Chain A
Amino acid sequence: MEGIKLIRDDGLRIDGRKPDELRPLKIEANVLHRADGSAYVEWGQNKVLAAVYGPRETHPRYAQRMDRGNVQCRYNMAPFSVVDRRRPGPDRRSIEISKVTAEAFERAVLTEKFPRATVDIYIEVLEANAGTRCAGITAASVALADAGVPMRDLVAACAAGKVDGQVVVDIGKDEDNFGQADLPMAIMPRTGEILLLQMDGHLTAEELEKAMDMAMDACKRIGTVQREALTKRYSVKSNGTGPDGGGNDG
């Protein structure tokens, strides 16, 4: 639009990906000793760390619910995560992301199994390059499973969007800045239930439909990467000659 060509003449995107291609994704489970559960995600140039604590007693007391537990989330971007230093502390954007992330996980976590208690999720964005809320949710989900928190399913998240009039998946930084729409989505892969759906920009009804289908498909692929990460960390070695289980101690 503004003179930037996001779709090249050969039909590939500005970074050489196909419309339905994801950026390289790497997930590692259980990376922190002090947290009850943790995960590290590298997704394209995003680097995100998630830590989970709990369930632990809910404070303040008035927030305790007798029939179920709470899920709290703090999404935070490091000052050095973006090109121009970001002022530390919560801002309007990160408060919103914290809220929608907590609400997404509230549905996935079996909160009725820990009444009066809270599960805390901390998402730290170390390096940002578009799609950090999806990377954060993806990491937090692995961290929750790692912490042994009971939940219905893992949660996978991915964005779709529209660039140069074409619907593509996993929007990159340039596509986010100069594209026409960004549609982050979080689902539970087993049922396809949508836990988070936001939209920035404009899409027609048909485009929205298509973008959601593509995001759904991408989320399912992300779900398999999450499972692989957890399986890799926790699979039983066939006999006792292997190295330590991964150094879970402090």
Chain B
Amino acid sequence: MGYDRGRGRKRQDWFGGDGRSGNFSGPKDREEGGDRREGQGQRDRRDRRYDRGPRDHRGDDRGRQPDRGRPAVEQTRELVLPGDLLAHGKSVAGPGTYTENSVVYAAQLGVRTFQEGKVSVLPLGGKYMPIEGDEVVGKIQDVNPNYWLVDINAPYPAPLHVDECPWEVPLGQTARYLAQGDIVIVKVQRVDVVKRSKLTMKEGRGLRKLAGGMVMEVSPSKVPRVIGKGGSMISMIKDRTGCTMLVGQNGRVWIDGDPAMMVVAAEAISMIDRNAQQSGLTDMVEAFLEGRARRDR
């Protein structure tokens, strides 16, 4: 069965304002299979990943989108429902599809896309399923002598072992570093066949505990919209509100800044979540932020 969840995106650092005054790092490494090390000193595990379909269709989608009012793209965005026939031939089955008798059908409600000779379905909803390399906003659910259990908005909580945190933690002293309810930005280090995942706070920049601020949730499938092309959407919201923001691939958005502006930023994010499928989204959000700024003046 060629089904795969609609995710196979680039591992890139979308976490621009990681507290260091808006040093947004846009997409740097876009080459297929190119190993991106950036100080993580670890082999890129991408090739070993379980259950991957055509890679990075999301990343590419993001890259190719014209900025505003994209009628040409709009016409090709066809809604498909589970069981809809997509193509013939096993080899073309991408994420969000399944194959029966060499015919590819949609497995999920979503938008049909073609990428690298494969047909796939970009889901419009659904739960977050962890993928190796994802940077996610997690909440400490439980504290144990040598690991923390982190709620990452997936069906299963994931452990963060003390060896994978940046501090030297004596056995049994875990609670002094991260307590229940703390918010962290962590990376999914490993996902096995039964979807058990391990987290790390070491590999990658900007992984840390998130003090203060607020967390809101959007549908994980709408994360690319929240970030925008090359991070345009999120950096616009950050500029206009002066807030520090982090978007986890699991659909959690962390916002910190002036309380009034945090509310504005949160409203903008929920606006994107609601209108993710519409064109001219950037303009819409910009107009909203503009309106709020004028009102506050």
Contact = CB atoms under 8 A, between A and B. Distances in A.
Nearest to B83: A153
Query: Lowest 3 CB-CB distances: which A-B pairs, in order?
Result: A148-B126, A153-B83, A240-B280
B175 interface: no
A28 interface: no
Interface stretch (B57-65, B240-248, B256-264, B271-279): B271-279
Contact of B270 (A145, A237, A249): A249
B145 interface: no
Interface stretch (B16-24, B74-82, B161-169, B201-209): B74-82
Contacts of A240: 69, 275, 278-281, 283-284
B105 interface: yes
A116 interface: yes
11 contacts: A56-B127, A112-B1, A114-B129, A116-B194, A148-B108, A148-B126, A148-B221, A150-B98, A152-B83, A236-B111, A240-B280
B14 interface: no
B155 A227 contact: no
Contacts of B276: 245
Interface residues of A, number: 45
Given A110-B3, A114-B129, A154-B82, A247 B274 contact: yes
Contacts of A110: 1, 3, 98, 107
Contacts of A66: 194
A50 interface: no
A242 B107 CA distance: 28
A146 interface: yes
A200 to B, nearest CB: 29
Given A57-B157, A150-B82, A238-B279, 10 more contacts: A36-B125, A36-B127, A56-B155, A115-B193, A115-B194, A190-B105, A231-B79, A231-B81, A245-B274, A247-B274
B105 to A, nearest CB: 7
Contacts of A248: 219, 273-274
Contact of A244 (B5, B105, B219, B275): B275
A179 interface: no
Q: Is the interface of B mostly helix, strand, loop or mixed?
A: loop
Interface in A119-161: 145-154
B3 A227 contact: no
A67 B193 CA distance: 9
Given A239-B279, A249-B270, A152 B107 contact: yes
A171 B96 CA distance: 37
A197 B126 CA distance: 30
A235 B1 contact: no
B67 to A, nearest CB: 13
A103 to B, nearest CB: 18
B125 A37 contact: yes
Given A110-B107, A249-B270, A117 B125 contact: no
Contacts of A235: 79
Interface in A200-250: 227, 230-231, 234-240, 242, 244-249
B214 interface: no
Interface string A174-209: 000000000000001110000000000000000000
Contacts of B281: 240
Nearest to A248: B274
A172 interface: no
B3 A148 contact: no
Given A56-B155, A146-B109, A227 B126 contact: no
Contacts of A115: 193-195
A179 B109 CA distance: 39
Nearest to A247: B274
A234 B195 CA distance: 29
A151 B82 contact: yes
A218 to B, nearest CB: 18
